[in-house]
Structure 1
Amino acid sequence: MPLRKAHLALLLLLASLAAHAGEKPVPPTYSKNEVLAALEEFFGKGARDLGKVVEKAFRDHGRPNAYIAGNEFSIALVAGVRYGKGVLKMKAGPTRTVYWQGPSIGFDAGGNLSKVFMLVYHLSSPEELFQRFPGVEGSLFFVGGVGMNYLQSGRTVIAPIRFGAGWRQGASVGYLDFTPELSLNPF
């Protein structure tokens, strides 16, 4: 009887290992406190209301495993363009410079220079970032001069948090195309 129990225990252990063999390991993620500290370091102490925006992102998508800190310029009059440069920091992995650009179209007018902090979810490697991420701009969340929207391609979600100078008002549909090199072509 004891031998039979040992065989059964071994069988259950092997079945459990086989069931988990196909799963990808979960990448390490940033805690809310780590994100808030990085935001304060990047934006400075003058950016009120960032906590509310981060709370919403954590409520909607959980803990990010990467973020991008950078700057961007945008201008629009019905059709618009956006260009940016930043540093991608993965919780477990490399740090590298990335660029983004993209068009938009809609009921939108103005221009601005912004500091941008993007929370990135479900990014396995930096190379997965280099693609187009569609989103609806100006439609999701805005508190005290701080704006955030969501972009998504496949499982990867990006939540850009923008804080800047200038004026841009309205709602538009567009995408951001992330590239490893600078590109002036927004398409």
Structure 2
Amino acid sequence: MFTPTHPVRSGHSWVLALIAALGLAFAVPAVAAGDDASTYDKDSIIKDAAEFFGETTEGLAKVIEKAFNEQGRPNGYIKGEEIAGAVGVGLRYGDGTLTLKKGGSAKVYWQGPSIGFDVGANASKVFILVYNLPRTQDIYQRFPGIDGSVYYVAGAGINYQQRDNIVLAPIRVGVGLRTGASVGYMHYTPTKTLNPL
């Protein structure tokens, strides 16, 4: 026998299902916001980079802003130094310390081919933004350069290297720009080696 309570119960189930679905939808931004604990914000990166380079330039802030616009918030960075020499095409060697926001640090070395804009050699500091790196040991592999990813703004430069979902964005200021564009790949290793391959 039909009773008028059935449609009401059915309606209540539909309303409860809708509320549950909306609850899940609104829970997604909360999870995304939780990611802030494992990534760096733009202001802290600009501050750390400026302190590391010993200067704040308009170009430095702009290349960092560009990286944030294109790649989002990094979950780590490498502070290091490198030497490079080029006669058109050259070599680059560097070393530094990787730090992840969620904890963990590691010594890292890198070497690989580079393309120079003039003839000569230079030594410089480099600040590398690190994206989507799950663990410190995952840095130890080859990272191909991304074609067309070299940008220069008012004395600062940045380019991208990528392996799967992991993206590295080396930033150089001043004289370090002289051979700032990567060719082929950069090999990151746990120990120093002179072999660029």
**TM-score, normalised via structure 1 length:** 0.79
* Number of equivalences: 180
Corresponding residue for 2:5? none
Corresponding residue for 1:112? 122
Of 37, 62, 79, the residue aligned with 1:69 is 79
Q: 1:68 to 1:106 in 2, by over 3 A?
A: closer
Q: 1:164 to 1:85 in 2, by over 3 A?
A: farther
Q: After the TM superposition, which residues 143-162 of structure 1 pair with which residues of structure 2 at under 5 Å, given as runs?
A: 143-162=153-172
Structure 2 Cα separation of the partners of residues 137 and 147 of structure 1: 15
Structure 1 runs of 4+ aligned residues shifted over 6 Å read none
1:124 counterpart = 2:134: yes
User: Between Structure 1 and Structure 2, which shows a larger proportion of helix residues?
Assistant: 2
What secondary structure sits across from 1:185 in the alignment? coil
Deviation of 1:68 (Å): 0.2
Of 53, 62, 85, the residue aligned with 1:43 is 53
Structure 2 Cα separation of the partners of residues 181 and 84 of structure 1: 11
Superposed CA RMSD: 3.5
Q: 1:45 to 1:78 in 2, by over 3 A?
A: closer
Identify the range of structure 1 (52-61 vs 136-145) with the bigger mean alpha-carbon deviation: 136-145
Corresponding residue for 1:142? 152
Corresponding residue for 1:85? 95
5+ residue gaps in structure 1?
none
5+ residue gaps in structure 2?
1-8, 29-33
Q: After the TM superposition, which residues 89-104 of structure 1 pair with which residues of structure 2 at under 5 Å, given as runs?
A: 89-104=99-114
1:31 counterpart = 2:41: yes
Q: 1:86 to 1:170 in 2, by over 3 A?
A: closer
The sequence identity of aligned pairs, in percent, is 50
Preserved contact between residue 99 and residue 180 of structure 1 (Cα < 8 Å): yes
Identify the range of structure 1 (153-162 vs 137-146) with the bigger mean alpha-carbon deviation: 137-146
Larger radius of gyration: 2
User: Between Structure 1 and Structure 2, which shows a larger proportion of strand residues?
Assistant: 1
Q: 1:138 to 1:77 in 2, by over 3 A?
A: farther
Corresponding residue for 2:185? 175
Structure 2 Cα separation of the partners of residues 110 and 159 of structure 1: 24
CA displacement 1:61-87 (0-9 Å, x = unmatched): 000000000100011113311000111
